[in-house]
A = this chain, B = another copy of it.
Amino acid sequence: MKINYPNGPTKEKEIKRAHTHGMLFEEAINNTNEYYRNKDLAYIYKKPTPVQVVKVSYPTRTKAKIIEAYYRKPSTTDYNGIYKGQYIDFEAKETNNLSFSFTHIFSHQLKHLVDVKRHGGLAFVIIFYKKVDKVIIIDIDKFMELYDIGLKGGKKSIPYEDALTNGIEVKRKYAPPIDYLEAVDKLYF
């Protein structure tokens, strides 16, 4: 089990780290989606973070300035769109631990992904295990199997080794930084 880089990060690893550690994971996915759009491969976007606006002021006549607002819980997942004629929907998570805890994902988000899959869409969770520098996608049905084991008193998290066994690792590149559609192809097509 390779937890860290005993001999220090290699050159290639350093680049990867720059692409994900340095850059936020979210930003790396957003750049990837932009790359996909530019190549006309897929139209997938991050949904804006929901904000409840309470007070707005108008310092100039043209521009509204929000002066009181609060973050709200997202209704669904982070990302959705269309790929190869299919509806695609996923939640992106990162963890500093070697195991991804189920407490870090909302149950209503999982329900949403289950509903999507049942209706014929592609639905998964993509997890970035920072410590081992691995990005892995897990289909929602598989994810729920592991989740249910946790509910029944078993493991309440997914160690990255289990993620690798149950999911597909996403290769990282210069462009796109997180080529998750390659993994999606392996998983669904």
Contact = CB atoms under 8 A, between A and B. Distances in A.
Nearest to A112: B43
A144 interface: no
A56 B63 CA distance: 19
B121 A85 contact: yes
A70 interface: yes
Interface residues on A, range: 35 or more
B45 A76 contact: yes
Interface of A: 37, 40, 42-43, 45, 47-51, 53, 63-72, 74-76, 80-89, 112, 115-116, 119-121
Interface centre among A72, A83, A119 (most CB of B within 10 A): A119
A71 B66 contact: yes
Nearest to A80: B80
